Amino acid sequence: MKLVLTQKEKIDLNSVLNTDVSHSDGSDLIFIGKVRDTSRGKKVTYIDYEIYNEMAVKELNRIADEASANHETGRIVIIHRYGRVTLGETSILILVSSPHRDSSYQASRYIIDEIKKRVPIWKKEFYEDGSEWISDRS
Amino acid sequence: MRIKIKVFASIRDICGFSEKELIVSDSIRVNEVIDLFIKGNQELSDKKDNLLIAVNEEYCRMDRTLEDGDTLAIFPPVSGG
């Protein structure tokens, strides 16, 4: 089972955990990415995520399919937010369920690493005294 | 031939638009479109080597030839997560 979503709204973890549960899976591994309060010595107040949604959804689905093809997984859920995400809020949630934990750890790591390389989403950090596109660092 | 251009994030800020339609009479490659936008725009020119390109929502090379109705997206390195 695969579920890929991009959304403006906050992510409801309990609802994700209860979606399409299979008793053949012996592990649920959850990765949560959050907005932290400092970035390179600056105090972050919130992040605006810009997204190229049509392409992002395609790439997220492709990454989930690759993770599923290369690891023994049951359920894969990827939810990425866009728009304004404030301090402490979840910006991304990755849930991987599998019969055994090793597959979940490997698949989850693969998914987040590939998202950071390929999925067209951009962070703009807002500070007390300005803002900056994070991709501008490169 | 009509090509839809979409730009995102810092590239959108520099270009001053998010979407534009380009009408050309002859076939054109991605890098030729990029050169059109870079001409006279030093800030964009400085970022040229780091630009990512997608045609019809798939990453592609700079030498790809565009076809009528294609959507060309130009954007900086991604930073999701």
What is the tens place of the pLDDT at every residue in B6-38? 999 999 999 999 999 999 988 999 999 999 999
Query: Is A138 contained in some domain?
Result: no
- Three-state SS at A14: helix
Inform me whether the pLDDT recorded for A136 exceeds 70.
Answer: no
Q: Is the dihedral of CA A112, A113, A115, A121 positive or negative?
A: positive
- What chain B holds in terms of domains, given with CATH numbers, is 2-75 (3.10.20.30)
For residue B72, count CB atoms less than 10 angstroms from its CB and return exposed for 0-12, middle for 13-18, buried for 19 or more: buried
Which residues between 73 and 102 in chain A have a beta carbon less than 8 angstroms from any beta carbon of chain B?
80, 91-92
Task: Give yes or no for A131 touching B (CB within 8 A).
Answer: no
Q: Among residues A110, A116, A115, A135, which one has the least CA distance to residue A125?
A: A135
For A52, the closest of B8, B77, B81 (CB atoms) is B8
Q: Write out the residue range of the structural domain in which residue A92 sits.
A: 2-133
For A112, the closest of B54, B79, B81 (CB atoms) is B81
CATH number at residue A114: 3.90.1170.40
The number of C-beta contacts closer than 8 angstroms across A and B is: 75
Query: Is A49 contained in some domain?
Result: yes
Query: Is A129 contained in some domain?
Result: yes
pLDDT confidence tier of residue A138, bands split at 50, 70 and 90: very low
Could you identify the residue written with the tokens 């076809």?
Answer: B67
User: Which residues pair with residue A51 across a beta bridge?
Assistant: A121
The count of structural domains within chain A is 1
Task: Give yes or no for A112 touching B (CB within 8 A).
Answer: yes
Residue type, position A64, single letter: A
Query: Is A40 contained in some domain?
Result: yes
Helices (H), A4-100: 13-17, 53-70
Query: Is A115 contained in some domain?
Result: yes
Q: Among residues B46, B36, B81, B5, which one has the least CA distance to residue A92?
A: B81
Query: Is A98 contained in some domain?
Result: yes
For A121, the closest of B6, B50, B80 (CB atoms) is B80
Tens of pLDDT along A25-52? 899 999 999 999 999 889 999 999 999 9
For A129, residues 6+ apart whose C-beta sits below 8 A from its C-beta are none
Count other Cβ atoms within 10 Å, centred on residue A32: 13
Query: Is A53 contained in some domain?
Result: yes
Query: Is A37 contained in some domain?
Result: yes
Contact call for B78 and A119, based on CB within 8 A: yes
CB A60 within 8 A of CB A80: yes
In this prediction the pTM is 0.94
Task: Give yes or no for B9 touching A (CB within 8 A).
Answer: yes
